[in-house]
Amino acid sequence: MRKINLIALLLIITVFSALAQNNTTSPYSRYGLGELINRGFGQSRAMGGVAIGLFDPGQINMVNPASFSCFENRSFIFEFGLKSKASIFKTNEQSYTDNSSNIDYFVMGFPVIHSKWHSTIGLVPFSFVGYNLEMTEETAVGTASHFYTGTGGLQQFYLGNSFMFFKHFSLGVNASYLFGDISYTRKVSFPGSSYVYNFYNEQSTVLGDLFFNFGASFTDTIIVKKDSAISRDLARKIKFNFGFTYDNASKINGSSSIFSTTSLGAGSSLDTLQNETIDNGYVDIPQNIGLGFSITFMNGLFSNNNSRFTVAADFRMQNWEDARFFGRNDSLLNNNIIGMGIEYVPNYYPRKNVGYFQKVFYRFGFHTNTGYVQINNEAIKDFGISFGLGLPINKFTKSTMNISFEFGKTGTLANNLLQENYGIVSLSLSLHDRWFNKRKFD
């Protein structure tokens, strides 16, 4: 019955994901492929976005596909997430607020061959474009109203596979189909005059192609102190994990169209200035290299208990400077991302008569991003801190509800630019089930 419920829930989430609304209102999403999304899930988002070096059997981590090897045998994991973002946009002269919410992602993971081959499949966002701006200015021929709108983004449907070698080393690959459409419109009108031409321009792009990213992971455990009276699981030990990720440089095929018109006052006929379509173009996604590690102290740092403490860090770099979008560049930079995070659970191996909050995962982290967009010689940087909880659903499974809060700043007020102060609430549900267990009868 539980498997049937999971499949039904998967179908529901699939429908809603297809209808999900955009999750950004930033004007900076006008550039490149829009606002690029951190592909970390519930655990990662509360830990500053770190994921490359995490190797947790209770969580799906698509950032490093090699991490799927840590899934427990005969386990099935289904996870989906919700996300809500509120922003305050400021310039040197004014400010305004905006918010957005949507279903974020859904993924599931399962073993294929006992201890050797594990897989995941899911639908996750890759980028978002979403803004709606209006401004007016006084000209020699009257008041001009300017309207700028951007919508769309890219989604990533992926199948991930991980293979374990020698109990310590694993390799993984995500094979994805990247798809979506992006539309930009610009309109200039003179509402107070019927003798001045109005202007309308729309640029639309439709993309769809294969995309691959690879991962490697090495893990080992050192027994610090072993008491003959307790099991290996309860011995005091330190677990090390090192991760490496590589996103292959790709050309994503698609089509692009530009349509421009002018009109003289309301109700007048349109004069077409441009109507052009490129059917066989492409956009560049440059290679992305990442390094990460995590160190986990099991069963206490200095005393015997059932706690687990993890510290992790990531570094990623991507060369956007030379990327082309249907033959042209777009004010982009090479960017670097650094993230650090910690996680602590007082009682990782739950026992009877242990309080609920002894089993909760407590998480904290921060990230800094040098930004891949440059405007007026200013890089649009991003910095944020995050924290959250992993709340066990019951004592019989590893199912958890993950909640995280992130607060950060994007952009700058320098050179008449825009600064965004944002807050993000993410909620995810990670459901665990056991498949292919042999039933026992009296």
259/367 Cα distance (integer angstroms): 40
Q: What's the farthest any 2 CA atoms get from each other in the chain?
A: 93
The answer to whether residues 388 and 83 touch, using CB atoms and an 8 Å cutoff, is: no
pLDDT, residue 269, reads: 60
CA 377/CA 183 separation, integer angstroms:
25
For the cut 90, the answer to whether the pLDDT of residue 161 exceeds it is yes
pLDDT tens figures, 331-382? 899 999 999 999 999 887 766 577 888 889 999 999 999 999 999 889 999 9
Residue 329, pLDDT score: 83
pLDDT in tens, 43-64: 999 999 999 999 888 889 999 9
CATH number at residue 119: 2.40.160.60
The answer as to whether 255 is a domain residue is yes
User: Which comes out higher in pLDDT, residue 301 or 162?
Assistant: 162
How many structural domains are present in the chain?
Answer: 1
Residue 290 in any domain: the answer is yes
Interval 215-250: pLDDT, tens:
999 999 888 765 555 555 567 788 999 999 999 899
Find the distance separating the first CA and the last CA of the chain, reported in whole Å: 22
Specify if 441 maps to a domain.
Answer: no
Residue 132 lies in a domain: yes
Structure-token pair, residue 15: 């429908």
Taking the C-alpha atoms of residue 95 and residue 138, their distance in angstroms, rounded to an integer, is 21
Mean of the per-residue pLDDT values for the chain? 85
Beta strands in 330-373 (DSSP E): 334-345, 361-369
Does 93 reside within a domain? yes
Kindly indicate the confidence band of residue 19, based on its pLDDT and cuts at 50, 70 and 90.
very low
Show the domain range for 364.
Answer: 2-433
Do the domain assignments include residue 442? Answer: no
The neighbour count for residue 307, using CB atoms within 10 Å, is 18
Question: Torsion over CA of 159, 214, 205 and 128, rounded to 10 degrees?
Answer: 80
Q: How many whole angstroms separate alpha carbon 58 and alpha carbon 348?
A: 11
What pLDDT score was predicted for residue 390? 93
Residue 89, helix vs strand vs coil = strand
Residue in the block written with tokens 């700028």: 148
Residue 147 falls within a domain, yes or no?
yes
Asked whether residue 44 is domain-assigned, the answer is: yes
